[in-house]
Amino acid sequence: MSMSKSANTYNRQNWEQSDFPLLCQTCLGDNPYIRMLKDSYGDECKVCLRPFTVFRWCPGARMRYKKTEICQACAQIKNVCQTCLLDLEYGLPVQVRDHGMNVKDNLPQSDVNKEYFLQNVDNQLASSGKTEPGGAVGKAQAPSDVLMRLARTTPYYKRNRPHVCSFWVKGECKRGEECPYRHEMPTDPTDPLSKQNLKDRYYGSNDPVADKMLKQVSEMPQLTAPEDQTITSLYVGGVEGDINEKDLRGHFYQFGEVNSIHLVPAQKCAFINFTSRHSAEQAASGSFNKLVLKGHRLKVLWGKGQGSSGAGGGGKTGERSLPPVPGLPAALPAFDPDPFNLHGAPPTDPKATPTPPRGSSNPPLLPPPLPPLGTATPGPHHPLLQVDLLPLSMMATVDCPLP
């Protein structure tokens, strides 16, 4: 015996009557003065086909009207929104949420089994006060690293935008700016995201959005262990003030014996030192992008060696040898702070050859000696510009009369 509105008109005791819908923040909108229209038994649930109370509202300015698609019993079984069918806690599709929690909730598909199952769910929710999720989701509320990485807790109001105007795509829209629909080109029809189904989203099967998100999870980077086998410490970042040494030791002790824990409250970080390399590797692989303590997501990386500039380095800082760069000039002479002997320092012998500074392989460059008086400077000269210098005794004196 079916309970749908079209096939059953006398078994109305199982029809749903509610006063307010179960919605996520995105579907509810950013308008604090929202006005809802309530229609008792206004439509059939897209999952169980039972008549339920339909709510219709506008989430904000320049947004399309939205309404509830499934009944509250089906929404509480999966802990999803009645409109978008996304998880109310993480904002993720059902398939991604079940994959992160390792939940396999096989709901009945046939009419008779579905009717019997929903009657038991109604009795269970009525006894619990309809404040907790039902089904397998209510029994598996442990945090997961996949859910923490993919959680979308911030509202995304662009999801409430109007649909694309089909007349504008064909070039026949005559409303202009007064058109309530979007004047944009639609997405590629061959795109898998353009074909979405409410039942596939609810049951967590063949959901293109979930497949895309799970593919991103598989392509996330992994933590690589350093080559230096002496490194047995891990760096933990994002340690808030309410996390103490006891909390860190309680988490990392499951991977092996912890030698010491050093907290740095000023930098909001900590260093976990293990007694063996194997324990450190187990802790790194089991805590990378997975560590959540007291609601805080912590960052886990490998520690660095003492005085090393990189992960797994063993040399001292500042003594790393680098290959010489070819083509560079020789070292310059030492700088003289008093070249003119202004402070009365004893003068040096000009004929003495200065000693090169320490660390220089080449002697300092000296000016060439001056030639003796009366001789020409050796070297190539232009024939028209060559001049011979004469001694002073051979130079004639010429008197120039004044004008």
Nearest alpha-carbon partner for 72 in 147, 29, 17, 31: 17
Nearest alpha-carbon partner for 65 in 111, 95, 27: 27
Residue, of 140 and 251, whose pLDDT is higher = 251
Reduced to 3 states (helix: H, G, I; strand: E, B; else coil), residue 318 is coil
Instruction: Please report, for residues 16, 24, 73, 87, 265, the alpha-carbon distance to residue 20 in angstroms, rounded to integers and kept in the order given.
Output: 12, 13, 13, 18, 46
CATH superfamily of 233-302: RRM (RNA recognition motif) domain (3.30.70.330)
Cα–Cα distance for residue pair 272/258, rounded to 1 Å = 7
**Helix, strand, coil proportions of the chain in percent (round to 5)?**
25, 10, 65
Residue, of 140 and 326, whose pLDDT is higher = 326
Helical H runs in 18-110?
A: 25-28, 72-78, 94-101
Average predicted confidence (pLDDT) for the chain: 78
Write out pLDDT tens, residues 261-282: 999 999 999 999 999 999 999 9
Write out pLDDT tens, residues 175-214: 988 999 999 988 777 777 777 888 889 988 888 888 888 8
Instruction: Please report, for residues 100, 221, 399, 400, the alpha-carbon distance to residue 403 in angstroms, rounded to integers and kept in the order given.
Output: 113, 99, 12, 9
Q: What is the band of 52 on the pLDDT scale with cuts at 50, 70, 90?
A: very high
Q: Is the pLDDT confidence value at 371 over 70?
A: no
Q: Is the pLDDT confidence value at 317 over 50?
A: no
Per-residue pLDDT at 1: 43
Region of residue 62 (left: phi > 0; alpha: psi -120 to 50; beta: else):
left
Per-residue pLDDT at 315: 41
Q: Is the pLDDT confidence value at 158 over 50?
A: yes
CATH 3.30.70.330 in the chain, residue ranges: 233-302
Q: Which of 57-61, 151-155, 260-264, 357-361 has the lowest mean pLDDT?
A: 357-361
Helical H runs in 84-163?
A: 94-101, 111-128, 145-150
Query: Residue for token digits 């909108």?
Result: 29
> pTM of the prediction?
0.59
Nearest alpha-carbon partner for 271 in 241, 234, 230, 304: 234
Per-residue pLDDT at 147: 80
